[in-house]
Amino acid sequence: MHELTERELYHALEYAKSQDEDSGRHILAQFELDQPLLFQTLFGLLPSVIAEHNQELGQFFMDLCFEVICVYQNAFGLTPKLADDPDWMARQAILLAPEFQALLQCHTLPVDDRKALVVDFIKRNGPQRQRRLIAFFNEAIDEFASYNISRVGAIATTQAVMLVVVSLFDGLYA
């Protein structure tokens, strides 16, 4: 796996955005079959964490998760099946748990401390292979939040959780 170039990322995001409702349902249904625990995490657990801060950003996060699935499938192929490594999700949860908890708390930290926490997360979990994708999602989250002041307080949490999602997909496709 490699970091997507701007052109590859643009192409993969266009693919994600071009999916109609029926295609989207099919992609999600297949993803749920292939990775049921990851599906439950992406569309159950993580949005509820964000929704504690802002319901609308929690829903927007699920849209972004769909885009992540599409980007990785378009750029790197079909999602690996659970049967390929049934213990993968459990190992990821153990590895990411301390950093994930810290990232969730980061909205109360000063900006420099938040940046240091993210750098620490990346050091412990390997370099982010998809920096452009993370930057794209951070901008999308900032833009979406800018339309309603009540969303602003959940930006840091949503971006932190999105970083975890991309880390999970990097691991899944590695």
Per-residue pLDDT tens digits for 132-155: 999 999 999 999 999 999 998 888
Strands (E) in the chain, as ranges, are: none
Q: Is 122 a residue whose pLDDT tops 70?
A: no
Three-class SS of 111-129: HHHHHHHHHHHHHHHCCCC
Q: How far apart are CA 60 and CA 137, in angstroms?
A: 11
**What is the reported pLDDT for 164?**
85
By the 8 A CB rule, do 161 and 104 touch?
yes
| pLDDT tens digits, one per residue of 48-87 | 989 988 999 999 999 999 999 999 999 999 998 876 666 7
Q: How far apart are CA 81 and CA 167, in angstroms?
A: 18
Closest CA to 144 of 50, 18, 42: 50
Kindly report the pTM of this predicted structure. Answer: 0.83
Burial 107-131 (b: 16+ CB within 10 A, else e): beeeeeebeebbeebbeebeebbbe
Which residues contact residue 157 at a Cβ distance below 8 angstroms, ignoring those fewer than 6 apart? 49, 50, 53, 104, 106, 107
By the 8 A CB rule, do 72 and 79 touch?
yes
**What is the reported pLDDT for 30?**
96
Q: Kindly tell me the burial class for residue 29, based on how many C-beta atoms sit within 10 Å of its own C-beta (0-12, 13-18, 19 or more).
A: exposed
Q: 131-146 and 55-76 are packed helices; what angle lies between their axes, rounded to 10 degrees?
A: 150
| pLDDT tens digits, one per residue of 86-106 | 677 667 666 666 655 665 565
At residue 160, φ and ψ (nearest 5 deg) are -65, -45
By the 8 A CB rule, do 156 and 107 touch?
yes
